[in-house]
Amino acid sequence: MIDSRISLWGERDGQMTDAPEYGPPISGEEVEEAAEITSRAFGRVSWADPPLFERAGRENHRVLREKGTVAASLLLVPMGQWFGGRSVPMVGIGSVAVAADRWGQGLGRRLMHEAVHELHETETPISALFPATFALYRGAGYEPAGTKCEVSLAANQIGLSDRELQLRPIEESDEPAIFELQRAHARRFPGHLDRCRFIWHETRHWEGKPGDGSLVELDGRVEGYLYSVPNLRPDFRLDLRVLDVAALTARAGRRLLTFLSDHRSQVETIRWDGSPADPLLALLPEPVYQIQSPGPWMLRIIDVPAALSARGYPEGIEAELHLGVHDRTLPQNEGPFVLEISNGRGRVERGGEGRIQLDVRGLAPLYTGHLSPQALQAAGLLEGPEPDLHAAAVVFAGPAPWMTEGF
Ligand SMILES: CC(C)(COP(=O)(O)OP(=O)(O)OC[C@H]1O[C@@H](n2cnc3c(N)ncnc32)[C@H](O)[C@@H]1OP(=O)(O)O)[C@@H](O)C(=O)NCCC(=O)NCCS
């Protein structure tokens, strides 16, 4: 598990008047001002005990000050994200909020600009976020780069009864095995998170309440688990929200789906965050599910050489890509780079012919495999000769990236 309490920016002493325009809160009052802004901005925030900023860690909280008071706030959550079977250090940006009386005056843009510069200074390869609006984040170099969809299905339509594995409640002593299993599960799917403690906590709680955990095993070897919470509807029927699910084997997936089916006398609809590429859906005998997408997540390549050399690539491919990257916000990313692929790893050097010209925004969906070079060219985000685009398509090929968590 990634340590979410890594300090990106040391604690600061001193009075508010000495505080820089941007940085971690320097007092409890500043945290409260930020909490007030965030609550108003989102209408509702999970202030369950402990409150959001405390759960995330004060060292991961940033505020933007104006005239001595907090005007905007966000969270920077260090974790990892799996690409090509490797965990790339990633900082998730969450809870971006500007004081309501200062909306539309460029503060959101300034806050994101500061955050992106800080992440570059701390040598973060990539950063991801869930956008409520594209304009703000595109301005800071982010671009849609993957999906998170809601899967729903009727409990009485699952149609599976496979009890080969035993199912039992998760106990505290199971945590190390659960963490290990989740990592082994997630590394197979591009875009999945290599979770920090904060993400683990948020994933296993629903509106402040912990989910009920169940695992499936054989001879003491855990092969899958899920956490869920029942949700009582106004018509006194239950829905079941699966907060987290992982199955290392097909029989574990079938056992977990059987468990969900066993809820059918009381539960009408079961929901979880997944994707059309979710292997659980491939285990269903019939196409009885619906999929809704609330919108993509966005990615920012913060440090081009670090990002390109940190991810994994398909084994057995030898290739050389000449990239000409443009980045108005972070000039350190500007210029030609050569990406050399060999034995599943990438090596980056400055220089080369810059044959594939692209903005750093276009590099994000190429990097994750969300859009092919040809699709990016059609979207006006990349230009290059046909043979180079074909080579890039092979290098960045992979299943569509998806995420199951939120932050
Ligand atoms: C979204 C929010 C952070 C923007 O902050 P802001 O200081 O008002 O934004 P800025 O004035 O810096 O504008 C930056 C860009 O975002 C766009 N923008 C601003 N507010 C927007 C909104 N509510 N919806 C859509 N786009 C918006 C602006 O048009 C501008 O685009 P441009 O750079 O292409 O001109 C702020 O309105 C807010 O706190 N909203 C409520 C909480 C929220 O939605 N947070 C985002 C969660 S992902």
The CATH number of residue 343's host domain is 3.30.1050.10
Q: Are 403 and 148 spatial neighbours (Cβ–Cβ below 8 Å)?
A: yes
Ligand 1 atom, smallest distance to 131 CA? 48
Domain of residue 197, residue span: 149-292
pLDDT in tens, 343-354: 999 999 999 999
Task: Indicate if ligand 1 lies below 6 Å from the C-beta of 40.
Answer: no
Task: Indicate if ligand 1 lies below 6 Å from the C-beta of 43.
Answer: no
Q: How far apart are CA 73 and CA 176, in angstroms?
A: 34
What is the arithmetic mean of pLDDT over 70-79?
98
9 domain residue, yes or no: no
Task: Indicate if ligand 1 lies below 6 Å from the C-beta of 41.
Answer: yes
Is 70 exceeded by the pLDDT of residue 246? yes
Tell me, yes or no, whether 382 and 252 share the same domain: no
SS (H, E, C) 29-62: HHHHHHHHHHHHHHCCCCCCCCCHHHHHCHHHEE
pLDDT given at position 259: 98
Q: How far apart are CA 372 and CA 390, in angstroms?
A: 9
Tell me, yes or no, whether 261 and 153 share the same domain: yes
Closest CA to 259 of 220, 230, 290, 216: 216
Task: Indicate if ligand 1 lies below 6 Å from the C-beta of 179.
Answer: no
**Which CATH number belongs to the domain containing residue 34 in this structure?**
3.40.630.30
For a mutational test of ligand 1's pocket, the pick from 73, 74, 136, i.e. the residue with the most ligand atoms closer than 8 A to its C-beta, is 136
Q: Are 242 and 151 spatial neighbours (Cβ–Cβ below 8 Å)?
A: no
Q: Which residues pair with 242 in a beta bridge?
A: 228
Name the domain count of the chain. 3
Q: Are strands 267-274 and 238-247 parallel, antiparallel or unpaired?
A: parallel
Is 90 exceeded by the pLDDT of residue 274? yes
Residue 18: band (very low, low, confident or very high) from pLDDT cuts 50, 70, 90: low
pTM, whole model, 2 decimals? 0.94
CB atoms within 10 A of CB 383: 16
Q: Are 327 and 359 spatial neighbours (Cβ–Cβ below 8 Å)?
A: yes
Q: How far apart are CA 135 and CA 198, in angstroms?
A: 28
CB atoms within 10 A of CB 92: 27
Tell me, yes or no, whether 169 and 39 share the same domain: no
Tell me, yes or no, whether 327 and 249 share the same domain: no
Kindly give the distance from the C-alpha atom of residue 115 to the centroid of ligand 1, in angstroms, as a whole number.
Answer: 15
Q: Which residue CA neighbors atom 20 of ligand 1 most closely?
A: 104
193 domain residue, yes or no: yes
What is the arithmetic mean of pLDDT over 219-242?
94
The mean predicted confidence, pLDDT, of the chain is: 93
Kindly give the distance from the C-alpha atom of residue 372 to the centroid of ligand 1, in angstroms, as a whole number.
Answer: 29
Ligand 1 atom, smallest distance to 98 CA? 39
Task: Single out the residue in 240, 269, 292 at which a domain terminates.
Answer: 292
Tell me, yes or no, whether 286 and 310 share the same domain: no
Ligand 1 atom, smallest distance to 72 CA? 39
Kindly give the distance from the C-alpha atom of residue 137 to the centroid of ligand 1, in angstroms, as a whole number.
Answer: 9
Q: Are strands 86-98 and 126-129 parallel, antiparallel or unpaired?
A: parallel
pLDDT in tens, 185-220: 999 999 999 999 999 999 999 988 899 999 999 999
Tell me, yes or no, whether 273 and 337 share the same domain: no
Q: Which residue CA neighbors atom 43 of ligand 1 most closely?
A: 97
Q: How far apart are CA 72 and CA 38, in angstroms?
A: 8
